[in-house]
Amino acid sequence: MEAITDGINKMNIAESQKKNRIQVSNTKKPLFFYVNLAKRYMQQYAEVELSALGMAIATVVSVAEILKNNGFAIERKIKTSTVEIKDERVRPIQKAKIEITLGKTENFDELMAKSAQEREAADAEAQS
């Protein structure tokens, strides 16, 4: 039994070290932190995987919807599952998990350039 658990732990470690994966928390960062981070990952890797457990699932879905509705991303894959996590008393509890893979749209670079110009204009306006 221990060999199976050990194998699963190694698989989870390898899985969590994907370069284009963002593991979203519902308490640590604001929503638009993840939106902007996902944009940067898509610039770098052309694809980003958003991952979350439990209550953070709503945040991941919101991030994906914002990116899709603003024309930055297209949905490639959605995977849902449950994972077993040990609580403080070392009892196993089941948590829902979601992984959403998004890819760049054809006009992604255009939209990024436009938003950078708008930011620069706003910064110049604020300084004058």
Q: Which one, of 89, 18, 24, lies nearest residue 61 by Cα? A: 24
Contacts (Cβ under 8 Å, ≥6 apart) of 16: 23
- Cα 109 to the center of its chain, rounded Å: 19
The pLDDT value recorded for residue 127 is 84
Cα-Cα-Cα-Cα dihedral of 47, 18, 100, 6, to 10°?
A: 160
Domain coverage including residue 98? 20-121
What CATH number has the domain bearing residue 51? Answer: 3.30.110.20
Domains in the chain, number:
1
The pLDDT value recorded for residue 48 is 96
Q: Residues 79, 110, 49, CA angle at the centre, nearest 5°?
A: 15
- Asked whether 46 and 72 are in contact (CB, 8 A), the reply is no
- Residue 114 resides in a domain: yes
The pLDDT value recorded for residue 65 is 97
Q: What tens-digit pLDDT sequence spans the chain (128 residues)?
A: 444 444 444 444 444 457 899 999 887 889 999 999 999 999 999 999 999 999 999 999 999 999 999 999 999 999 999 999 887 778 888 999 999 999 999 999 999 999 888 888 888 888 87
The pLDDT value recorded for residue 118 is 87
pTM of the predicted model as reported, rounded to 2 decimal places: 0.78
Strand boundaries in the chain, DSSP class E: 21-24, 47-53, 73-86, 92-104
CA distance 119 to 126: 10
